Amino acid sequence: MQTQSKNSRLRAALLVPAFLVAGALLLPCALRAQAVTGVGDDATMPKRGELRFTLGSIWNSWYERYGQGTPGRANGTLEPLGINFNFDTIGVAQLENLGAVQTSIRSLAGLPGFTASLGASKLQLHDDVQTTPLAFEVGVAKRVSLSVMVPFVTATSHVNFLMNPTGLEPTLGFNPTLFASAVVGTDAAFLAQFDSASAQLTRSIAACAASPSTPGCASINANPTAARALITNANGFASGLAKVYGGRNGATGMLFVPIEGTNAQTAIEARVAAYKAQYAAYGTTAITGAGPIGAQAPLTAAGFNTVLTDSTFGINAKPLATSVMHGIGNIELGAKVNLFDSFHGNDSARFAPKGFNWRQSFGGVFRLGTSTIPGAGDLTGIGTGDHQSSIEFRTFTDLLYGRHFWLSIVAGYTSQLADQIAVRLPDTPTQTILASYRQDTVQRKMGDIVDIQINPRWTVNDYLLISGQYYYRHKAADSYTGFLSTADLNQNIDRIDASVLGLYTEMSESRMGIGATYSTVATVARLKAGLPFDISYFHYETTLGSLGRVPKISVDQVTVRVYRRLFGR
């Protein structure tokens, strides 16, 4: 899955720029410069009455991240995206309702070191987001433009989930009474043997006290206290078995029990055999069974997804499986003002520049939180955006020298607006499997963002431009406010602070990219005929991440931009 996606991006990365370069070099043209705007942001903007219509396709893909706070790993090192679902042991730390099971089995089996475990899990996670932005920018005055951008998004989370690959990892499996009513009857019949043995020995103790010479009374009368203690201990043991395995009064017992043949199940069966022998020493042979029925097999991936999705287990989440979400991303409404242009709007000067030139613009964007995010019970899904409204300010500087080289420097600040969101609250940032009782609506304020782009460009001719990019982004930590006080799965009152969701959300990221643009804008302007357009290909990747959990993203982008006159000269 990952190899195929990488190969597709690699082919696009090689073929599209090669096509653009070959096509442009074969076209005859006078060598000019600055005729092509290229990839990345810059200080240019449409003239008054001119429309720039942009349609693109952007493929984002990532399956690794720069980690933070992952046990056993140094901060800032690359790690698999699904690492928080990779467990050597799925035990009490991952599933709260295993706590009571572990305590009971330790007592029943006489194994104080017993660890409740559903086994080991391995999850490979690969996220892809394909965005088709539809953008319009109109020059409404000589130095002012307005824009709107609507992104159409398909977000896919590819999941490959494995559970207990060898079958030897777990100590627990599903209690068979959950799925087969006949097992309840079988366990009930076994527990009735303990009841019968207790009743028989109780009658024997009374009869032997009244008639000591009755055959078989010697062992009882030799130590009646030990016989009574046996009844008490055996009844307690049987009650413990009923609590875990079920069987009494039609009860199904706990959700998980030891797997047949494991140390815990064998130890419990050994205790049953010991009580059977002790009763037999007093002439009571009612116990004939080996023990209650244990789990028949380790959990598979399908079985663990049952734990996640079936309300019986208290999690009520979506399964760990590939998911796809379609929808609109965050719509952007923007404005841009040109503050200075050494070309003074003169196309002939711009297409045949001399010496040093400078353009300076300033812009702002109001980003609407129109995207969709996964539900609180979706453990691996990704949305069409962050569903967060924000205000962004940007400054655009173009520095041009001679006929070939120019440089765009774009800096921005994004202020995120507060909102409310339904989430499940963990105790720690590494806790990923969360019961439904932990869900609450809390106040969210995502961290503000400072970023800078440096885009060096080389104009080959009127048709072709090669661009590079260095991009740096720093996001402050998110803030979550709220408390949840509720009973956990063991009926203990738990108070959870929402602020834990903000841990490891601060991040710094660096990206590097390269692209090429083919354009007819200069020739159409010179010949006064034809359709002015440009088509660009751009590839960039995250090269460094720190401070938080930063996805290592690979992006391929193809953009077509068409210029049309709406009004004016």
What pLDDT score does 249 carry?
86
pLDDT of 31 over the 60 cut:
no
Specify which of 265-274, 282-291, 424-433 reaches the highest per-range mean pLDDT.
265-274
Write the pLDDT tens digit of every residue in 79-90.
999 999 999 999
Token output for 132: 């088709």
Give the helix, strand, coil percentages of the chain, each rounded to 5. 25, 35, 35
Mean pLDDT of the chain: 89
pLDDT of 382 over the 60 cut:
yes
Reported confidence tier of residue 346, pLDDT bands at 50, 70, 90: low
Residue pair 436/423 in contact by the 8 Å Cβ criterion: no
Residue type, 169: E
Reported confidence tier of residue 111, pLDDT bands at 50, 70, 90: very high
What pLDDT score does 529 carry?
67
Write the pLDDT tens digit of every residue in 511-539.
999 999 999 887 887 777 688 899 999 99
Between helix 263-281 and helix 98-109 the angle, nearest 10°, is 40
| Phi and psi torsions of 158, nearest 5° | -85, 125
Average the pLDDT over 480-490 and give the result. Answer: 78
Write the pLDDT tens digit of every residue in 134-178.
999 999 999 999 999 999 999 999 999 999 988 888 999 999 999
Return the closest-CA partner of residue 219 out of 201, 194, 198: 201
Q: In this structure, how many other beta carbons lie within 10 angstroms of the beta carbon of residue 26?
A: 8
pLDDT of 46 over the 80 cut:
yes
What pLDDT score does 96 carry?
86
Return the closest-CA partner of residue 466 out of 43, 9, 24: 24
End-to-end CA separation in angstroms for the chain: 53
Reported confidence tier of residue 34, pLDDT bands at 50, 70, 90: low
Write the pLDDT tens digit of every residue in 195-239.
999 999 999 999 998 888 888 898 899 999 999 999 999 999 999
What pLDDT score does 174 carry?
96
What pLDDT score does 479 carry?
95
Average the pLDDT over 34-45 and give the result. Answer: 79
Of residues 351 and 437, more confidently modeled: 437
> Cα separation of 317 and 424, whole Å?
11
How many residues are recorded in the chain? 569
Average the pLDDT over 463-476 and give the result. Answer: 95
pLDDT of 449 over the 60 cut:
yes
The DSSP string of 167-182 is S-S-SEEE-GGGT-HH
Share above pLDDT 90 across residues of the chain, in percent, rounded to a whole number:
72
The Cα angle at residue 195 between residues 190 and 200, in degrees rounded to 5? 125
Write the pLDDT tens digit of every residue in 1-21.
544 454 444 444 444 444 444
What pLDDT score does 252 carry?
87
What pLDDT score does 493 carry?
62
pTM: 0.86
Reported confidence tier of residue 97, pLDDT bands at 50, 70, 90: confident
Reported confidence tier of residue 24, pLDDT bands at 50, 70, 90: very low
Residue pair 448/391 in contact by the 8 Å Cβ criterion: no
What pLDDT score does 311 carry?
92
pLDDT of 492 over the 60 cut:
yes
Average the pLDDT over 38-44 and give the result. Answer: 86
What pLDDT score does 306 carry?
96
Average the pLDDT over 303-308 and give the result. Answer: 96
pLDDT of 32 over the 50 cut:
no
What pLDDT score does 348 carry?
57
| Phi and psi torsions of 355, nearest 5° | 65, -145
Residue 308, SS3 per DSSP: helix
What pLDDT score does 486 carry?
74
What pLDDT score does 15 carry?
46
Return the closest-CA partner of residue 202 out of 179, 180, 172, 235: 235
